[in-house]
Amino acid sequence: DIDAAKAQARAEELNIAKWYPSIQEMLAHEECDLVDVVTADHLHFEPVMECLEAGKHVISEKPLSLYIDEAEQMVAKAEEKGVHLAIDYNRRFAPGYVQARKWFDAGAIGQTYYLDMKLSQGGPASTWKGEYYLLYELETHAIDLLRWFGGEIVAVCAQMAKPRQHEAREGEDACYTSMAISFRYETEVVATLLASWDSDFIHPIEHLEICGSDGEIVVNNVLSRATLMKRDNQVVEEYRPSIFRAEQLAFDGTFALRMAALVDDLLTDRPPAPTGRDGLQALRITEAIVESWKEKREITVKLD
């Protein structure tokens, strides 16, 4: 922390042996292999670049950046230095999505036809940080999941609304708190996303349905369950996390699962998915969604 007193107090509170007032000092005194950058969204670029330049593996909080040019520089720097840049899309490691991916990779639903997702939860006005904050703060997770299961997204079209604009703080733009977004993929696949901060945490906040030629996979509420339904004989297979695995029943546990997977990837020299390039592509899609709403038309997404 740049506030040395605050850094020291926090370190003592959490029983952390060492603390530093700057990235530079930490890199000069620590033989670290991996750095986790959890600064505010608009402050990822400098610490990520400094750590990559020093030859350290890095995991960044999402979004990778608020600006595409910064994200492109981060990805390029990691490749230049021969180190790994990962991003904390922790929902990929939630038990329901892990099981869904196993079914998907096993070909349980055949050829993918469409994806339908909802990610909607409470978003008090006190947390708003700009008109499109919902997209960058929360829905970047949904975008990542839609890419993970559906492949590359090539075009988007968006509708947005501000039903709670009266709650905006004086002098600040109200946030678009409800969005309906359609996606078109490289293949003959389409997807929809209902994104909102206008519900609450009591209502089921998250739902993903993947429909294929042989059946469907449905994930409800991240942690609660995943269901596989077959077309021909309607055999249903349902997965529920064990009640004896506390880390599987609390959303915070997905961060530990994500970090464990990252460390295992690094120790076995596997690219630590999701990568910085995944973060870059999610940001390109996010920017295209904003452009679509502003221009009231479908927008093509840049691909590498």
Distance CA 22, CA 149 (A): 39
Domain that holds residue 190: 90-250+274-300
**159 in a structural domain:** yes
**269 in a structural domain:** no
Domain check: are 209 and 99 in the same one?
yes
Query: pTM score > 0.85 for this model?
Result: yes
Q: How high is the pLDDT of residue 149? A: 98
Strands 34-37 and 57-60, by their bridges, are parallel
Burial of 198 (0-12, 13-18, 19+ CB in 10 A): middle
Largest CA distance in the chain: 65
Q: How many CB atoms lie within 10 A of CB 246?
A: 10
Low-confidence ranges of the chain (pLDDT < 70): 202-204, 222-224, 233, 242-250
Q: How high is the pLDDT of residue 125? A: 82
3-state secondary structure 174-205: CCCCEEEEEEEECCCCEEEEEEECECCCCCCC
**265 in a structural domain:** no
**67 in a structural domain:** yes
Distance CA 129, CA 109 (A): 40
Q: How high is the pLDDT of residue 52? A: 98
Domain count, the chain: 2
Domain check: are 102 and 230 in the same one?
yes
User: CATH code at 114?
Assistant: 3.30.360.10
- What tokens appear for 268 in the block? 């076995």
Domain check: are 61 and 195 in the same one?
no
Q: How high is the pLDDT of residue 268? A: 93
Distance CA 33, CA 48 (A): 13
